[in-house]
Amino acid sequence: MEQVMRNFFLFLSKNKPLTRLAKKYGLRFGASRFVAGETIEQAVEVIKQLNKKGLAVTVDYLGEFVDNEQEANDMADHCIEAIEAIHREKLDAQLSLKMTSMGLDISEELVMRNMRRILDTAKLHDVFVTIDMEDYSRCQKTLDIFKRLKTEYDNVGTVLQAYLYRTVSDIEDLKNYHPNLRLVKGAYKEPPEVAFPDKKDVDENFKKIIKMHLLNGNYTAVATHDDAIIEYTKRLVKEYNIPNSQFEFQMLYGIRPERQEQLAREGYTMRVYVPYGTDWYGYFMRRLAERPANVAFVLKGVLRK
C-alpha cells in the first residue's frame, strides 16, 4: 500500500496542469507545513525563528523543470534576491537550487550564465550554494556542470543520492575536487536498472557513502530524518575522531522539528532546508510520497478548514 501511495504522489508531482493550478491558488491544502511562504519576506521571518533556536538554514526558491529562457533568468534573479536577503538580514543561511530551474533542459550555456551570476553574488556575500540533485536523467549533466563550477568557485556544493548504483563511483570520482556534498537517500521515482528498489539496500549504501566521503576528509552533510542513519553517523565520527566541523545534519522544514532542535542542543550543526515561493506543488507531492503519515496530517488540516 505504501509503495502504491508513493508512486501515486510521485506521478502527481510531475503533473503540469496541477502545478499550474497550485501556483494560481496559492499555498493551500496543508502545503504551508512544508513551505515557508510565497515571498522572500515570509521566508526571512521563518529563517529568523529557526536561527533563534540554534538551527542553520539552507533556503530554496522553489522551481524546477523550467522550459523557457525568461523563466530561468527570473529564477536566477530570485536566487540572487535570496542571497542579498541573507546578507542584509545577517541570517545563518545558505542557498539551495535546482539546475532545471536555471535552464538545464534548455542549454548548458544558459545554466552556466545563471549559475555564474548567482555564485558571483554568493561569493561577494560569503554565502554557500548547494545544487540539489534531481532525477537520474539529469544526474550526469548536473555533475559535469558542478565540476566545471567547482574549479572556478569555492562556495558551491552538490548532492548525491544513496539509491543510485552509480553513487559509490561518483564519490570516488569527485574525491579530488574536495567537494562539500549533501548525501541523501533520493526522492525521485527511478527504475531498478539505475536505483536500488529495496529500502534496506538504499540504507546500506547510504551508510557506505557517508563513511567513504567522511574518510576521504571531505565535508559531509547527512540529510535524513532517519534516526538509524543519524546514530550511525554519530558512532562513525566518534570512532574515527572526525571533528564536528567536518560534517552536519540536515532535515526538511516542517519534518521532525523537535529532533532538529535536539541535535542542535547536542552540539551538532543542524541545517534546515527551507523552501519558499509559488512553485511549491512538485516539492509538496514528493513529501507526501515519502510518508503516508504526512498525508494524514495534511488531510486533518484540510478537514479542519
Pick between residue 233 and residue 294 the one whose CB is nearest to ligand FAD. Answer: 294
Task: Judge whether 148 is annotated as a binding position.
Answer: no
Window of 66-74, 108-116, 261-269, 289-297 that interacts with ligand FAD by CB under 6 A: 289-297
Does 133 sit near ligand FAD (CB under 6 A)?
A: yes
In the chain, which ranges are continuous DSSP H helix?
Answer: 2-13, 16-25, 40-52, 69-88, 108-124, 139-152, 167-174, 199-215, 227-239, 257-265, 281-290, 292-304
Can you tell me which residue has the cell 530570485?
78
Pick between residue 127 and residue 187 the one whose CB is nearest to ligand FAD. Answer: 187
Size of the site for ligand FAD (CB under 6 A): 23
33 is catalytic: no
Pick between residue 152 and residue 226 the one whose CB is nearest to ligand FAD. Answer: 226
Q: Which of 57, 33, 42 is nearest to 276 (CA)?
A: 42
- Reported as type and span, the H/E element at residue 129 is strand 129-131
Q: Which of 140, 156, 146, 67 is nearest to 103 (CA)?
A: 67
Does 161 sit near ligand FAD (CB under 6 A)?
A: yes
Task: Judge whether 75 is annotated as a binding position.
Answer: no
Q: How far is the CB of 71 from ligand FAD (least distance, A)?
A: 20
* Beta strands 156-161 and 270-276, pairing class: unpaired
Does 291 sit near ligand FAD (CB under 6 A)?
A: yes
Task: Judge whether 199 is annotated as a binding position.
Answer: yes
Pick between residue 78 and residue 271 the one whose CB is nearest to ligand FAD. Answer: 271
Window of 13-21, 41-49, 78-86, 180-188 that interacts with ligand FAD by CB under 6 A: 180-188
Pick between residue 38 and residue 290 the one whose CB is nearest to ligand FAD. Answer: 290
Q: Which residues contact 93 (CB under 8 A, 6 or more apart)?
A: 47, 51, 56, 57, 58, 59, 86, 127, 274
182 is catalytic: yes
- Torsion sign across C-alpha atoms 290, 29, 222, 182: positive
Does 159 sit near ligand FAD (CB under 6 A)?
A: yes
Q: Which of residues 203-262 bind ligand FAD (CB under 6 A)?
A: 223-226, 250-252, 255-256
Q: How far apart are CA 69 and CA 106, in angstroms?
A: 7
Q: How far apart are CA 154 and CA 206, in angstroms?
A: 25
- Torsion sign across C-alpha atoms 279, 281, 282, 284: positive
Q: How far is the CB of 88 from ligand FAD (least distance, A)?
A: 24
Q: Which of 158, 179, 164 is nearest to 97 (CA)?
A: 158
Q: Which of residues 92-121 bind ligand FAD (CB under 6 A)?
A: none
Task: Judge whether 224 is annotated as a binding position.
Answer: yes
Task: Judge whether 133 is annotated as a binding position.
Answer: yes
**Contacting positions for ligand FAD (CB under 6 A):** 132-133, 159, 161, 182, 184-188, 223-226, 250-252, 255-256, 273, 290-291, 294
Active site residues: 132, 182
Binding residues for substrate: 98, 286-287
